[in-house]
Amino acid sequence: MQILGACPLDCPDTCSWVVTVEDGEAVKLRGNPDHPYTRGALCVKVNRYLEHTRAADRILHPMRRIGPKGAGVFERISWDEALEEISVRLRAIVDEHGGEAIWPYNGTGSLGYLQGCEGVAGRRFWNVLGASRHFLNICSTAGNSGLVKTNGTPGGMDPENFALSRLILLWGTNTLTSGHHLWKFIQDARAAGAYVVAIDPIRTRTAEQADEHLPILPGTDAALALGLLHVVLAEGAEDRDYLENHTENWAEFREEILRHPPARVAEITGLPEAGIRALGLRLARTRPTAIRATMGIQRHAGGGAAMRVIASIPGVTGDWRHPGGGVAYSTSGHVHLDIDTRDNLRPGPVRTLTMTRLATELDESVKCLWVYTANPVGSSPDQNRIRERLLREDLFTVVMEQFPTDTVDYADIVLPATMQIEHMDLHAGYGHMYLMWNEPAVEPPGECLSTTETFRRLAGHMGLTEPSLFDSDLELAEQLLSSGHPSLDGITVDRLRKEGWVRLNVPQPFAPFADGGFPTPSGRMRLPRGAAYVPPHTAVAAGGPYPLTLVTPASHTFLNTTFGNNPELLRRSKGPRVLVNPADAAARGLADGQRVRVFNAGGAFEADVEISEKVRPGVVASAKGHWPKLNPDGAGVNAVVEERDADMGRGAVYHDNLVEVAPA
């Protein structure tokens, strides 16, 4: 028997997959060959997903802490015992401190609209209790904010239309590691003569396959965009009709562009002036031009401004007129589901706590931290202070998890969570134009429960009577599809369950702003006004005791911290490594393969040096995803990532930190 499903992980591709089941066991997993974007292929990580569901360290039963916090020592308990203890503790917290003392902390471990962070998972329950709101800003909020300021939406190109492009800028995105299905459409474009440029501080797998690589200084992307547009203006190649009829603030933005000639931009970005001019000429002369910029590009102090300026490029060149032209950041802006979290159930106004400010905001006012689809000890900034906060004996911590992560070690109660092949969910890729259905293929192992079922049982145990807390998964899915938006015309739960995926009801090819129609108050693209380049922290704070800029890109073998405990993927990752340019290594007397300490005032982690010209002098890189507890020193890259905000959306700054590297 073959069951259609969808990958739940934090990747733009949201693959459609097929699970083969024999005698109640999932025996094979493959990409769905019928899906237009997946085209039968999964990634190196998800190819091991079935193996991962059967891992020896899978959490299968509720557990209660019996050792000190952080030690990860637990005893098995029943679901009734777990629900009773949780109910008593939550009631006492609400009665004594109010619902705001509860912080429901969920993350991007699943992007499901039922079980994960995108939809209704648990939110109605927390609203009834009056819990604090959780602001999930860890991934893309700076870029989203920049795009909304410019276009009114983060939604842009249909990535499939990259096949129609003639110039492709892969800007701060490692396509072959973080969303490799787009590469097939890029290959189609190259076969028709397209030129591909990778703009990235690291010579990634993608940069090595591009026609040209520009190793830009981290966080200077807005300056480069302005410099390229300076060349476009010098060539008289701006689309004056599009600017006049479909944009606003052009006069002010034009003046800002003219303040950034290639010579000045070369000084800011560390790129050769000739290279900036050459790419500017290509941009001026090539239609359609497509820009792929994903989440890594906006994880620095000026991340929102960078996306604002990059998003403005197709407004100046008129590339939005053409299928195959424009910017692709996230297609989520084209998804119009009815996410009804029933905010009216709250007894009154509540505060908002910010995901990437856990080290600061997990203070004495928070009496319960409830973590699900997240691993903040491994993934959030300022790792050492988070650990200190989690040691509080008066903090009741519940973690719903599949594996014994670093965060689980600090839990008072651990609840076993299902994995994707064991529950029902609805997905929408943020890198394509399809809604996806995930049908459970097998029964959950042990006593694992889905997120929705866990909250249904807890609501019943606590005697809550609000009817919407007990909606079934199918009822929740029906509600999500009931927004009435034209993009959902003809899409029903029954159809999704039968077909596995359905394209949103939009044209193909899809040129969303060919005739303007931006979802802004004026209906026009809002070009930036005033200073459009915000320097990174690493430039502003240069000259101190930490001279190297650290970038923490995605790993090819892990997805965030998912799969960080998989033995084979751990072996392939070769352990924590830090890329160091030969000049920087020589200045510090470092040898290839040597164990070093990467440190700043916030903390340190150890890694093996890889001396490589994949990074330029002054820049070092170490991939995220390794579990701190599995590293020799018990630390990870986020020990040196500061808890600071980007310029917009309170985005995180994972690529904007200063460090030093020395022998361990």
520: left (phi over 0), alpha (psi -120 to 50) or beta: beta
Q: Does residue 536 have a cis bond before it (omega within 30 degrees)?
A: no
| Residue 527 identity | L
The token duo for 383 is 């790792």
CA distance 608 to 579: 9
pLDDT by residue (tens digit) across 143-197? Answer: 999 999 999 999 999 999 999 999 999 999 999 999 999 999 999 999 999 999 9
* pLDDT in the model for residue 17: 98
* Contact yes or no for 283/635 (Cβ under 8 A): no
pLDDT at 246 over 90: yes
Q: Where are the alpha helices (DSSP H) in 326-405?
A: 358-361, 376-379, 383-390
pLDDT by residue (tens digit) across 278-332? Answer: 999 999 999 999 999 999 999 999 999 999 999 999 999 999 999 999 999 999 9
CA distance 615 to 551: 10
* Contact yes or no for 259/241 (Cβ under 8 A): no
Tell me what the pLDDT averaged over the chain comes to: 97
Matching residue, tokens 């049982």? 457
pLDDT by residue (tens digit) across 7-48? Answer: 999 999 999 999 999 999 999 999 999 999 999 999 999 999
pLDDT at 372 over 90: yes
pLDDT at 120 over 90: no
Q: What percent of the chain has pLDDT over 70?
A: 100
Over residues 70-86, mean pLDDT = 98
CA distance 22 to 24: 5
Matching residue, tokens 């069951």? 3
Model confidence at 249, pLDDT cuts 50, 70, 90, reads very high
* pLDDT in the model for residue 155: 96
pLDDT at 141 over 90: yes
Over residues 517-530, mean pLDDT = 97
Over residues 568-589, mean pLDDT = 97
| Cβ-based neighbours of 274, under 8 Å, separated by 6 or more | none
Model confidence at 496, pLDDT cuts 50, 70, 90, reads very high
The token duo for 627 is 């579990």
CA distance 355 to 359: 9
| Residue 475 identity | E
Q: What percent of the chain has pLDDT over 90?
A: 100
pLDDT by residue (tens digit) across 597-632? Answer: 999 999 999 999 999 999 999 999 999 999 999 998
Over residues 453-476, mean pLDDT = 98
Matching residue, tokens 């240069």? 542
* pLDDT in the model for residue 49: 98
CA distance 622 to 638: 10
151: left (phi over 0), alpha (psi -120 to 50) or beta: alpha
The answer to whether the Cα torsion of 205, 208, 210, 212 is positive or negative is positive
Over residues 450-479, mean pLDDT = 98
Q: What is the DSSP string of 224-279?
A: HHHHHHHHHHHTT-S-HHHHHHHEE-HHHHHHHHHT--HHHHHHHH---HHHHHHH
